[in-house]
Structure 1
Amino acid sequence: MTNDDDHRGRRVRPENVDDLTVEALGSLSKALETTERARGHLYSFHQLTGTADLELDRAVALLGRAGHEEWAALVEREVLGRNVIPGHWTFQVVESYDRTYYEPFKKVERDAVEALAGGRPHLYEAEMKERRRTHGHRDHTATPEETP
């Protein structure tokens, strides 16, 4: 049992936290979760672009072997290893995103939960679960410990 839980292992809100604060923290967490997804897409962009760039090695070689040296040279010169935005390869875009947006966002969300909800994350979801579950149903238990 953590400080997030009551004696039955259920997540409970501190007494001094009102409904609007729980809703606001839920919205802040939802925004961070969306940012986590965006970050995943950014990593996909990074990996897909890198994979495409590595495949260009094969394309250049095949164009050369097929007798299209000018095209091989053009692809190698104009596309292979090119910056995706001025001065940046994709790893630099990812690093900049993490440093200037993702990490500060994560810290603000964590600090807000600590300051406003006693460090108890996901209160909004925990309360929604409690409202929506069928009490007494074996597949609707409040906690893993209550699962038969």
Structure 2
Amino acid sequence: MSTETAADILEIAQRRLMTQPFSALLSAAIVEVGASRCALRVPIRDVLKQQHGFVHGGVISYAADNALTIAGFLAMDRAVVTSEFKVNYVRPAIGEAIIARAECVHAGKSQAVCRCEVYVVTGGAEKLCAVAQGTIALLSGPEVPVN
């Protein structure tokens, strides 16, 4: 990826994200990328809330998981999957959107450790609503597509 610009990488990452039907269903968008970091945004709609009016924890977990994996992919520049991750919810997400910001902490030959903070956006202000950390593993084998 060293020859691509940040705009190129953002476009490639967004296009790959939209190959996931669930990401398209949630209207998720990658809004920022760097060498080993990214930010993923999900607009909050009523269908994404649980019975108390907060964003469902599964939606927050989805955002953290995908941001972690994208950060790992950007750091390793190879096909990857989430091996494991943990999320801590720190406040209810009530607002207009959630943004998951992830970065790679360490990338080795076969896995990367990444961390993520998920914010809820209200009136342009961001408040932390969850933190996550995960291990992103290299996906290999003959069944793995190159692109």
TM-score range, shorter chain: under 0.3
TM-score, normalising length: structure 2: 0.27
TM-score, normalising length: structure 1: 0.27
Structure with greater strand share of residues: 2
Give the number of the structure whose alpha-carbon radius of gyration is greater.
Answer: 1
Tell me which of the two structures has the higher relative contact order, counting C-alpha pairs closer than 8 angstroms and 6 or more residues apart.
1
Structure with greater helix share of residues: 1
